């Protein structure tokens, strides 16, 4: 039996982290295979890259369902069709339900643009500057029902410089994210890093 984990990526927009995971997984030695991309928005830019690389895509719009539980059930159905072992959230701007997070515990990971637990939520770069932080960065962590919480898999620290604006910082941190996420997914897919509460 293959040791490669079958991974679905969830996106909402640009999908640059998704792109880096797809590129990393195109190496036959990588321990994960990207089996599909799920978006919660039909115009998510990243869908084009995924399709162009022969990856299956699905748009699952929350507005098509009467509850979060029903939306999450539709996602689970798609994941089952793809025989998914793991999920990588990559700029997926929708909170998944507690039951969904529980079902996938230890098998669902997320990337966040801050050194968690600092700056959970949105606008992390502007908030780091407002707080006169001397360092910022990015984190990949296991997903739990609490937003931007869950055990940390890896982080890259990015020093803040005097001339930084939120835009400049965002660009520098995105480069760090692109290095961190393929490494972190490989650690979890290969079993090198496992979920512990």
Catalytic residues: 112
**Binding of ligand GRF at residue 137 (CB under 6 A)?**
no
Show the tokens assigned to 112: 């966040």
Show the tokens assigned to 131: 């707080």
Residues 6+ away with beta carbon under 8 Å from 29: none
Minimal distance, residue 40 CB to ligand GRF, in Å: 12
Residues 45-84 as x/- pattern, contact with ligand GRF by CB under 6 A: ----------------------------------------
**Binding of ligand GRF at residue 36 (CB under 6 A)?**
no
**Binding of ligand GRF at residue 94 (CB under 6 A)?**
no
In this complex, which beta carbon is closest to ligand GRF, that of residue 98 or of residue 176?
176
Minimal distance, residue 17 CB to ligand GRF, in Å: 3
Q: DSSP readout, 151-197?
A: -EEEEEEEE--TT--HHHHHHHHHHHHHHHHHHHHHHHHTTSS----
**Binding of ligand GRF at residue 38 (CB under 6 A)?**
no
Considering only residues 9, 17, 125, 182, which one is a binding residue for ligand GRF as defined by CB under 6 A? 17
- 59: part of which helix (H) or strand (E)? strand 57-59
In this complex, which beta carbon is closest to ligand GRF, that of residue 81 or of residue 146?
146
Instruction: Return the range that interacts with ligand GRF (CB under 6 A); candidates 6-14, 57-65, 66-74, 96-104.
Output: 6-14
**Alpha carbons 54 and 56: distance in angstroms, whole number:** 7
Residue 52 sits at the vertex; the CA angle it makes with 47 and 54, to the nearest 5 degrees, is 95
Instruction: Return the range that interacts with ligand GRF (CB under 6 A); candidates 14-22, 47-55, 67-75, 149-157.
Output: 14-22
- Rounded to 10°, the helix 166-189/16-25 angle is 30
Q: Where are the alpha helices (DSSP H) in 2-95?
A: 16-25, 46-52, 68-81
Instruction: Return the range that interacts with ligand GRF (CB under 6 A); candidates 22-30, 31-39, 108-116, 127-135.
Output: 108-116
The single residue listed with the structure tokens 């996602």 is 75
Q: Which residues bind ligand GRF (CB under 6 A)?
A: 11, 13-18, 90-91, 111-113, 174, 177
């Amino acid at each position: 039996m293959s040791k490669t984990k079958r991974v679905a990526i969830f996106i909402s927009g640009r999908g640059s982290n998704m792109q880096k995971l797809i590129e990393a997984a195109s190496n036959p030695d990588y321990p994960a295979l990207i089996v599909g991309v799920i978006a919660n928005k039909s115009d998510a830019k990243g869908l084009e890259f995924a399709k162009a690389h022969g990856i299956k895509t699905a748009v699952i719009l929350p507005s098509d369902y009467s509850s979060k539980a029903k939306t999450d059930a539709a996602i689970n159905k798609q994941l089952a069709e793809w025989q998914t072992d793991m999920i990588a959230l990559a700029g997926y701007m929708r909170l998944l339900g507690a039951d969904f997070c529980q079902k996938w515990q230890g098998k669902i990971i997320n990337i966040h643009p801050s050194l968690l637990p600092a700056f959970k939520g949105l606008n992390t770069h502007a908030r780091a500057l407002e707080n006169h932080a001397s360092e910022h960065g990015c984190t990949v962590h296991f997903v739990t029902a609490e937003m931007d919480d869950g055990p940390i898999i890896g982080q890259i620290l990015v020093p803040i410089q005097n001339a930084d604006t939120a835009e400049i910082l965002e660009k520098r941190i995105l480069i760090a994210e692109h290095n961190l996420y393929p490494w972190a997914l490989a650690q979890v897919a290969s079993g090198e890093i496992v979920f512990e509460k």
